[in-house]
Structure 1
Amino acid sequence: MGFKNILKPTKKKLIFFVGFLFIAIVLFVSGEKKDRTVQTSPVPADSTQVKKHLVALTQTPQFRNHKNVDQLNAIADYIHKTFKTYSDSTGFQEYKVDGQSYKNVIGSFGTENSKRIIIGAHYDVCGDQQGADDNATGVTALLELARMLKGQKLNYRIDLVAYTLEEPPYFRTENMGSYIHAKYLKDNHIDVYGMASVEMIGYFKDEKGSQSFPVGILSWIYGDKGDFITLVKKFSGAGPFVGNFIDQFKDTNQIKTETFPAPGFVHGVDFSDHLNYWEFDFPALMITDTSFFRNKNYHKSTDTLETLDIQRMTKVIDAIFLSIIHLK
């Protein structure tokens, strides 16, 4: 997840206004929570495979940041090899930055369909650290989804895209891998139903006080325990894909899930690759454990494999998979 900017202090009246506005919106959007049966996946996510991919992504000779291009290429090759095992088609999207070549990796399923869904996650890290939650968890989701999607009858073409250069110094620039990919889709008039960014899905805490928010008053709605996954969408004009995906995700009942509809000025809502799809007017959302609002290892050397909750992360992958195969 990209760089956490320091925002200027907001006037007290605006804080209270935004807080109460969120209460009204979230109560309206969420409505009454009903008991649901847990959906059974025809191909469940495998925690052993999840752990294997997490190890491969984090236990590397060099850190997978923009300076270590050879390491990034090695990770890209690992992703490509895994995609190729399962997908209908696999390829690299290469581009140059400052004389160096960088690669997005794409694995496609249901290629007989014209309209497509993008499920994306970045594989680079910020600085010298493992980046276990940020964002080995998101890339691992793509790798496991590839195995799960093989042979499935799909209503849409599914493109799993592993991006490079999401992190600083390229965050919010045209050098982000997701910017390159989203622009390609726009320039080529490709029919995109929507995009989901998988951004940090492995960190959960059940202790009180383990969850914070961009507006503190939101703890009245969501509680202060970091025990849920969040689906972040635009405040308005999100598009039918986003609403349908959220409905399907919640209906799986795999994991406690909250929806966060937020205006763009709220701190953190566009801190991932979905921001570039918003830039090109594609419907998009982010699937996240809320990043630095919960995980204090964010962009630190302490973001390691040992801090992850693999069992709950596996449930998130199951929910994404079930959402994809049930989308109409």
Structure 2
Amino acid sequence: MFLRFYCSLLLGFLGFQVQAQQLTPSPTADTIRLRQHLLTLISTPQPRNYLHPASLQQAAEYIQQQMRTAGARTSEQTYEVQGKPYQNLIGSYGPEAGPRLIIGAHYDVCGEQPGADDNGSGVAALLELARLLGQQTNLPYRIDLVAYTLEEPPFFRTRQMGSYVHAQALHAAGVPVRGMVALEMLGYYDDRKGSQRYPFGPLKLLFGSRGNYVTVAQKFGNGRFGREFARRYRAAAALPVKRFKAPAWLPGIDFSDHLNYWQFGYSAVLLTDTAFYRNQHYHETTDTLDRLDMRRLGLAVDAVLATVLHP
């Protein structure tokens, strides 16, 4: 009996050693690169919105160039709104065929403001994820990173949203989609009590009053992908993560590009710092880079990478 016990112990130790040798450390997000992406996005001559198409185009060109530098297969999805062209930028990794995972972030802003958190932080995260994915080999499935245009008013909840155009095109072509992740405002954190608000007051008792976490939000009945992504992201993250599931009608649950994938029957989640429920500079001229936390933004990116690389 003792011999079997020690043999089992030895085999277990050796098995751990073999497993440890097979695992390679995942690359981590570079906070300097994240800051540089944000600086570039907020430094266009005019705010990057539909009222300033030249600045919106400048941001689009930067995003596409960064995707190419990261080794992505790049493409553009151009469409017209009110007689003007707008573009979604797509960077693809992994095999051409088979189901794909969509990870997206909108690069336009609302009104005359820099939009550092909304949604410069989401785009910076997308571009850093592009660099990290470019270091991977033999991805088991296709991952498409998509930078959307025209998410903000007056186009929000219309068919002119870049994410609607993209989701509709996937559906029309019969493309199999594993799921979709919207990166929406990921850079603002506040450790003070009372810094976090909710659409329904009693939620504070469950999730706490400190705005120091990332949320994976999804609607009821969102499918297997949503459940698995939320669980794996929380397990991988080195910062607090709250998993939030609610009816689609609850205010805030569908306030980003993932809502358009729901319309076509795709499982989609929102990854966010909770936007205006925490960041009081939302859609204001004070949504500036100096208010963001690069370290925690980097940790949020690291967890996305670890989650999508999960077998």
TM over 0.5: yes
Cα distance in 1 for partners of 2:87, 2:203 equals 39
Cα distance in 2 for partners of 1:145, 1:218 equals 31
Cα distance in 2 for partners of 1:148, 1:306 equals 25
**Which residue number in structure 1 is paired with residue 6 of structure 2?**
none
Once the two structures are TM-superposed, the CA of residue 111 in structure 1 deviates from its matched residue by 2.7
Aligned residues of 2:190 and 2:210 also touching (Cα < 8 A): yes
Q: Does 1:202 align with 2:190?
A: no
Q: Percent identity?
A: 48
Once the two structures are TM-superposed, the CA of residue 239 in structure 1 deviates from its matched residue by 1.3
Q: Does 1:272 align with 2:256?
A: yes
Mapping of residues 102-121 of structure 1, within 5 Å: 102-121=86-105
**Deviation readout 1:25-84 (Å, 9 max, x if unpaired):** xxxxxxxxxxxxxx9951100001011101001122110011111111111100000101
Q: 1:216 aligns with which of 201, 214, 222?
A: 201
**Deviation readout 1:246-304 (Å, 9 max, x if unpaired):** 12211113210001101011111100000000011100000000000000000000100
Mapping of residues 42-191 of structure 1, within 5 Å: 42-152=26-136, 153-191=138-176
Cα distance in 2 for partners of 1:234, 1:131 equals 26
Task: Report how many aligned residue pairs link the two structures.
Answer: 288
Aligned residues of 2:168 and 2:264 also touching (Cα < 8 A): yes
Cα distance in 1 for partners of 2:237, 2:146 equals 26
Which structure has the bigger radius of gyration? 2
Once the two structures are TM-superposed, the CA of residue 192 in structure 1 deviates from its matched residue by 0.3
Q: Secondary structure at the match of 2:309?
A: helix
Q: Which amino acid aligns with 1:227?
A: N
Cα distance in 1 for partners of 2:140, 2:233 equals 16
**Which residue number in structure 2 is paired with residue 323 of structure 1?**
307
Q: Secondary structure at the match of 1:216?
A: coil
**Which residue number in structure 2 is paired with residue 15 of structure 1?**
none
Cα distance in 1 for partners of 2:200, 2:25 equals 36
Cα distance in 1 for partners of 2:135, 2:25 equals 14
Aligned residues of 1:41 and 1:318 also touching (Cα < 8 A): no
Q: Secondary structure at the match of 2:54?
A: helix
TM-score (ref. length: structure 1)? 0.86
Q: Secondary structure at the match of 1:282?
A: coil
Q: Which amino acid aligns with 1:214?
A: P
Coordinate RMSD, CA, aligned = 1.2
Q: Which amino acid aligns with 2:207?
A: Y
Once the two structures are TM-superposed, the CA of residue 113 in structure 1 deviates from its matched residue by 4.5
Cα distance in 2 for partners of 1:154, 1:65 equals 35
Once the two structures are TM-superposed, the CA of residue 88 in structure 1 deviates from its matched residue by 3.8
TM-score (ref. length: structure 2)? 0.91
Aligned residues of 1:88 and 1:111 also touching (Cα < 8 A): no
Q: Secondary structure at the match of 2:103?
A: strand
**Which residue number in structure 2 is paired with residue 290 of structure 1?**
274
Structure 1 residue ranges, 4+ long, deviating more than 3 angstroms after superposition: none
Cα distance in 2 for partners of 1:221, 1:40 equals 37
Once the two structures are TM-superposed, the CA of residue 220 in structure 1 deviates from its matched residue by 0.4
Unaligned runs of 5+ in 2: 1-22
Once the two structures are TM-superposed, the CA of residue 151 in structure 1 deviates from its matched residue by 3.7
Aligned residues of 1:200 and 1:289 also touching (Cα < 8 A): yes
Once the two structures are TM-superposed, the CA of residue 112 in structure 1 deviates from its matched residue by 3.9
Q: 1:261 aligns with which of 234, 245, 268?
A: 245
Cα distance in 2 for partners of 1:68, 1:219 equals 39
Higher relative contact order (CA 8 A, sep 6+): 1
Cα distance in 2 for partners of 1:113, 1:258 equals 34
**Which residue number in structure 1 is paired with residue 177 of structure 2?**
192
Once the two structures are TM-superposed, the CA of residue 86 in structure 1 deviates from its matched residue by 1.9
Cα distance in 2 for partners of 1:178, 1:301 equals 25
**Which residue number in structure 1 is paired with residue 12 of structure 2?**
none
